[in-house]
Structure 1
């Protein structure tokens, strides 16, 4: 994350950039300097997930009660000190950072493979040095913080830009995170989350002014330096030869510095002694070997320019104004090169969006923009575009989204920004979604990955969101999915076709689901939710259950119909852990000890938690028929507890033992098991014991003559005798209309 090599350089070569500070003292000083203003810290939440996840156990699917407690303690400590926290989460991956996103996901795959190798070899969880955050941690952290009464926001672009903008515009005490980009932005002070001692509120402040002094640069030079070194926008190799040229002519190479440290010093020296000489006389592309990369380079530099700021590396004069929905886009032009820098101010969210046009190639480059006004999709053009008739510049591209209804987009956008939904706005605005790595064993060919298991659910959601008033999947556009699963090289997105919905009474419109207050609308919303899982016929049975068991049963029925490789012992473990969890304290869960760690149980835990994140998507798409608490993991799932029940069930322990000899739990257990098993039988998918399979199928796990990955109608996904992994998700041989690879 951030600028290549800068973190190590600051730590080893410029330690004076790091200053020990105390948040309590800083807050007190802030109050005295700004009477009546609450000291506010903007938190880059994605940088903080590893810091927040303090439970010892992480491999079993997440210790969610413990995690919720650690978050509550974090919030309480700052609140007690009189400091307000604003949490920002990444809401989408920008196109120019997709390559970097893919690179990290593939790296994570290798790390996960090493984790499973360790578990198989040692039958225990690896050390913290191999720590991998539990699936769904970022998504559920949003809901946990909102439950704790915190202001939690989801970004409409790369979160670090919105964090830096918010901190600058609201005169915040500082930014708390772990990303060297915050050393580049000219914004409020930047504090390290990794160095934070929560008990005392001591941490390290990284001072960009001191960094500039060390490098002989000014603050406005830092974006230029960041791009020449390489960051998430500019590939590291783009200016590699230029950096070594700087190094070869750098006369102050210090032997006690490492190679990267000397390169940073050499590039900074080139900026201060060479580029500064001709600044204002020559265009930037004449002083740097930009070549065909000039547009991308301008984009990279401009991405650090916050609202109200200018860069001396761009020559600007006001040229025209374009009104785009609620955005006012002001245009600046270099009189010599006609290089354009457009700054778009979103009045509703107080963010700005710069754009650069490469003067030679005429290539337009959008910078850190609100995707509602700039996403490149291919379906509907938003009509609310006005252009100043006095403006003589080329017409700005119209907003292109997957749906044309501005009211629906506005509602989806608001839910997205307030961190109340998951992926819905991404589908509606750009038709592109992503999901990162899960703890899945690529070598276990019996269990499908979560991306494939829940894809039919997502396909029905896409139909609901994009099918118009009739929910007609045949006319829906495909959705680009960047989902990580075994065998997917992530070179291209999967183009996923929506699936037709079968909702009693027909498919309601989004306006009805999202905006209606008429009596009975909650019934329609629940019908839509169940239809996404193809469980409409089980509405009465599920409604008879108390929450959170409705959500649990919904997921278990879907999973056991969909995946043949799940057995009765698995079902027992899932149900028993959810029942026992209800009456266990956080301390009891922390004290649980496991005999050993089973790799299959690791993947099953991850699979269920990803099902809960899928419920977040479905619930928000259907107008929130269930309250979020009904499917939050701290109310339904504990990784260690599930693992314990799984191991007991595998050993053949009686159900009474699994529910810890509690008569009330035993009654509920049989009720839940009966509902799941009957539903599976209706789909010609009886749930039987693992021992039954071993006795009849020579150790092969999965049903004879059938894929272990099923459709919700009970038929094999990949055809008779074919294993589910034998054909990729883009296979058209057996299901030509389901999906295809891009």
Structure 2
């Protein structure tokens, strides 16, 4: 996560540290020096997400087909230069960095509130200065890169450490990211992703040696500098008095006008003045506040010392630990497929960052609460249910962002057994059973996590993208009382129309305005998709993971368009883009979802009106509940369904301005 102000200091005040380089040239030089060795760059994937997400649309829930195309372009540029990429993702939030994680989540919550205030006042997407990266992008990016044939590593420590360690161990060409911690690690060259010109494969390289020369330090002094400036382990506010004392004795000969830059130089000057003393660490301790916990400083320094390295600032080096060869409770396959599974099994913990949800809208609960019941079922599959005694019930520590949660401590969430015949199966039985009927049991258990197991056969008969969407819509409808029939119709229209859209077509969509409620629902659905991916992993993969990816199931702008059309009572021919077969599929799905909700005593009501729009908005399809139509859509053969579609279509073309509810009433009576 970095050291405050250090990256800017290097770029603005240490010009000799930064140099523009051609990765093409460096790659060719590397191949000449190491024949037969493929030049490799380790990519800090978490630090590159904002660079990769180039779509203009971000407020609606993510433009995922466009994003996939952006990743492909990125990979191709390096491949053409003969450079292999290895992508590293954070797999866990370490306990020593949890406080900083919480601080940033609280800050993000404030940013989200400002975004919704802007939407409500302007009915437009905020500018890039308020950009909030789409929810779940790290998870989806891992699978996107797998789809594109790339190697990924999902860490069990803070990602920047493993990036630096892997790059050093494998003699890589360099590492690519945007984190000032990479100025501190004694590893391979650090390339900036923010300064990267993909068309020319040119970027800025930061020289640690030149950085040390600028400040009069040794490479081994940089970890101490990072900690005394404040980082994710040693909070900056704990160092304020120390930094003031350094400033008081620092006589600057530079022309620095930036206060932070002067602090950095003053702290570096202090380290330089004591670095050769026999008991230099004691001199540091004298400058720190009385009672300061020196073990915290030691932990901070250790977090930058890579395997096989040492530091003059560490009193006793812990046992060597190659973090790339730690034994995990799960096979690497499962670890790579879903972080939540590994974290729950190995750490008893689960976390989730901010998403775009409107805290001022009490009618839609926080996504963390909406999907908690489902997560509890997943935990039961993974951890078992104990012996039935409340005292022995397994618990998971959840760090989830939701309205009113200040994240001062984790929520202790108990497992929740599934109410299905035979009880809750174990993950082991679902993963490794050779029962010929195991795939059906996996699907049934996965659906039971969302309380739709009674509809297993109907859902299995659908394509994966439709089954996933239907499952989530039923679950969300039960959990969120304000979800209307019109909302469901919009989600269905989106998922049915998506397969026929290219990234270019989706990019070209024009929306008249932005509806804040549609934004909220879009991100709620995305979080549901990630929860479904967790259930899918726990249950032994009844779905192919790639089938659940948003480029197959969800597009933000397309959903927003369908939401506005449905709430605005647009003609059905417009909503389904003159495609008769989509209408027939829609009827079947709509009936299944409303019936599934009815079995759980939930009647979906038509939407009252679009929250930001001018339309009165009763359901566009409110008259589709005719008994004759239900019978035809559910039990009728293909010829009967096609006949219905032809009648409907003929009616549409004869009265092009008539709403769907009108024409359905006409041909159903």
Distance 1:189 1:281, change over 3 A: closer
Q: Does 2:396 correspond to 1:476?
A: no
Q: Does 2:574 correspond to 1:652?
A: no
Selected match of 1:342 from 319, 322, 325: 319
Selected match of 1:614 from 527, 531, 535: 531
What is the TM-score with the length of structure 1 in the denominator? 0.80
1:289 is displaced (CA, Å) by 5.2
- What is the rounded CA distance, in whole Å, between the counterparts of 2:546 and 2:604 in structure 1? 29
Q: Is the Cα contact below 8 Å between 2:442 and 2:540 reproduced in 1? A: yes
Distance 1:68 1:693, change over 3 A: closer
Q: Is the Cα contact below 8 Å between 1:567 and 1:690 reproduced in 2? A: yes
Q: Does 2:195 correspond to 1:195?
A: yes
Report which stretch shifted further, 493-502 or 609-618: 493-502
1:66 is displaced (CA, Å) by 0.5
1:490 is displaced (CA, Å) by 1.1
Q: 1:276-675 counterparts in 2 under 5 A?
A: 276-279=276-279, 285=285, 291-314=291-314, 339=316, 341-345=318-322, 349-350=324-325, 409-411=329-331, 414-416=333-335, 419-467=336-384, 475-675=392-592
Report which stretch shifted further, 219-228 or 560-569: 560-569
Q: Does 2:49 correspond to 1:49?
A: yes
Structure with the higher fraction of residues in strand conformation: 1
- What is the rounded CA distance, in whole Å, between the counterparts of 1:264 and 1:90 in structure 2? 28
1:285 is displaced (CA, Å) by 4.1
> What SS does structure 2 have at the residue aligned with 1:595?
coil
CA displacement 1:112-131 (0-9 Å, x = unmatched): 11111111111110111110
Q: Is the Cα contact below 8 Å between 2:380 and 2:417 reproduced in 1? A: yes
Aligned to 1:364: none
Q: Is the Cα contact below 8 Å between 1:90 and 1:159 reproduced in 2? A: yes
CA displacement 1:308-359 (0-9 Å, x = unmatched): 10112235xxxxxxxxxxxxxxxxxxxxxxx45322235xx34xxxxxxxxx
CA displacement 1:135-174 (0-9 Å, x = unmatched): 1111101110011000011110101111000000000011
Distance 1:555 1:281, change over 3 A: closer
Q: Does 2:87 correspond to 1:87?
A: yes
> What SS does structure 2 have at the residue aligned with 1:500?
coil
1:473 is displaced (CA, Å) by 8.4
Aligned to 2:72: 72
Q: Is the Cα contact below 8 Å between 2:234 and 2:296 reproduced in 1? A: yes
Q: Is the Cα contact below 8 Å between 2:568 and 2:610 reproduced in 1? A: no
CA-atom RMSD in angstroms: 2.1
Q: Is the Cα contact below 8 Å between 1:469 and 1:509 reproduced in 2? A: no
Q: Is the Cα contact below 8 Å between 1:513 and 1:623 reproduced in 2? A: yes
1:371 is displaced (CA, Å) by 9.0
Q: Is the Cα contact below 8 Å between 2:48 and 2:178 reproduced in 1? A: yes
Q: Is the Cα contact below 8 Å between 2:464 and 2:543 reproduced in 1? A: no
Q: Which runs of 5+ in 2 are unaligned?
A: 619-669
Aligned to 2:61: 61
- What is the rounded CA distance, in whole Å, between the counterparts of 1:17 and 1:585 in structure 2? 44
1:241 is displaced (CA, Å) by 1.1
CA displacement 1:85-137 (0-9 Å, x = unmatched): 10011111111111110111111111111111111111110111110001111
Q: Is the Cα contact below 8 Å between 1:472 and 1:500 reproduced in 2? A: no
Q: Is the Cα contact below 8 Å between 1:464 and 1:471 reproduced in 2? A: no
Distance 1:195 1:692, change over 3 A: closer
Q: 1:141-152 counterparts in 2 under 5 A?
A: 141-152=141-152
Q: Is the Cα contact below 8 Å between 1:21 and 1:204 reproduced in 2? A: yes
Q: Is the Cα contact below 8 Å between 2:256 and 2:262 reproduced in 1? A: no
- What is the rounded CA distance, in whole Å, between the counterparts of 1:472 and 1:560 in structure 2? 32
Distance 1:188 1:414, change over 3 A: same
Distance 1:474 1:466, change over 3 A: farther
- What is the rounded CA distance, in whole Å, between the counterparts of 2:382 and 2:583 in structure 1? 40
What is the TM-score with the length of structure 2 in the denominator? 0.88
CA displacement 1:346-388 (0-9 Å, x = unmatched): 5xx34xxxxxxxxxxxxxxxxxxx595xxxxxxxxxxxxxxxx
CA displacement 1:612-664 (0-9 Å, x = unmatched): 11111111111111101221100111101110110011111243431112111
- What is the rounded CA distance, in whole Å, between the counterparts of 1:290 and 1:426 in structure 2? 38
- What is the rounded CA distance, in whole Å, between the counterparts of 1:281 and 1:517 in structure 2? 60
Q: Does 2:8 correspond to 1:8?
A: yes
Aligned to 1:245: 245
Higher relative contact order (CA 8 A, sep 6+): 2
Aligned to 1:217: 217
1:280 is displaced (CA, Å) by 6.9
1:71 is displaced (CA, Å) by 0.6
1:254 is displaced (CA, Å) by 2.9
> What SS does structure 2 have at the residue aligned with 1:254?
coil
- What is the rounded CA distance, in whole Å, between the counterparts of 1:92 and 1:569 in structure 2? 39
- What is the rounded CA distance, in whole Å, between the counterparts of 1:651 and 1:12 in structure 2? 52
Q: Is the Cα contact below 8 Å between 1:290 and 1:297 reproduced in 2? A: no
- What is the rounded CA distance, in whole Å, between the counterparts of 2:487 and 2:531 in structure 1? 20
Q: Does 2:603 correspond to 1:686?
A: yes
Aligned to 2:265: 265
> What SS does structure 2 have at the residue aligned with 1:517?
coil
Aligned to 2:23: 23
- What is the rounded CA distance, in whole Å, between the counterparts of 1:340 and 1:224 in structure 2? 15
Structure with the higher fraction of residues in helix conformation: 2
1:284 is displaced (CA, Å) by 6.1
Q: Is the Cα contact below 8 Å between 1:58 and 1:133 reproduced in 2? A: yes
- What is the rounded CA distance, in whole Å, between the counterparts of 2:219 and 2:383 in structure 1? 46
1:410 is displaced (CA, Å) by 3.1
- What is the rounded CA distance, in whole Å, between the counterparts of 2:31 and 2:118 in structure 1? 51
Q: How many residues align?
A: 613
